[in-house]
Structure 1
């Protein structure tokens, strides 16, 4: 995500979300153990994380639900996730 996209996303989050809030993150990554571990490690230990392999086995979808105290916490996770090679944000 570009800085401009992050800024717009933060504005939308602040307008539409009452914090603290349970927030659902959804990502798709190439099916490599390293990628999966990098994404899973973005979240707190208490986060509810589910993974599902694509039919072809090339990709893994990762859904994580976590309590966020403010929009900055959500943006921080997206910024760190953007460092994972081949990640797709949903």
Structure 2
């Protein structure tokens, strides 16, 4: 499947960039956009529970979408990628930025 292949290429490129631009462990800022739905937002937040993450949500102007920003200290780029994959697997329709 081309989408799986392109996702793996994206994550491979991201992993390389993270190793080249940061020393690990490091803080990482995730940004997600999701249709405003309390269950979806809670699901995203629960993925980062007990990690010391600072989570900020901002509804769009019309309230149809919510931006979820998560700043968290992570040990390696592999963990950054694992969390991206966990969010996209568990939260339908999420957009990663």
TM-score normalised by the shorter chain: which range applies?
A: over 0.9
User: Moved runs in structure 1, 4+ residues, more than 3 A?
Assistant: none
- The equivalent residue for 1:86 is 93
Q: TM-score, normalised by structure 2?
A: 0.86
Report the number of matched residues. Answer: 90
Q: 1:44 Cα shift?
A: 3.6
Q: Secondary structure at the match of 2:47?
A: coil
- The equivalent residue for 1:3 is 8
What is the root-mean-square deviation in Å for CA atoms of aligned residues? 1.2
- The equivalent residue for 2:81 is 75
Q: 1:61 Cα shift?
A: 0.4
Matched, 1:25 2:30: yes
Identify, as 1 or 2, the structure richer in helix.
2
**Structure with larger Rg:** 2
Instruction: Structure 2: state its 5+ residue gaps.
Output: 1-5
Q: Give distance in 1, aligned partners of 2:71 and 2:38.
A: 20
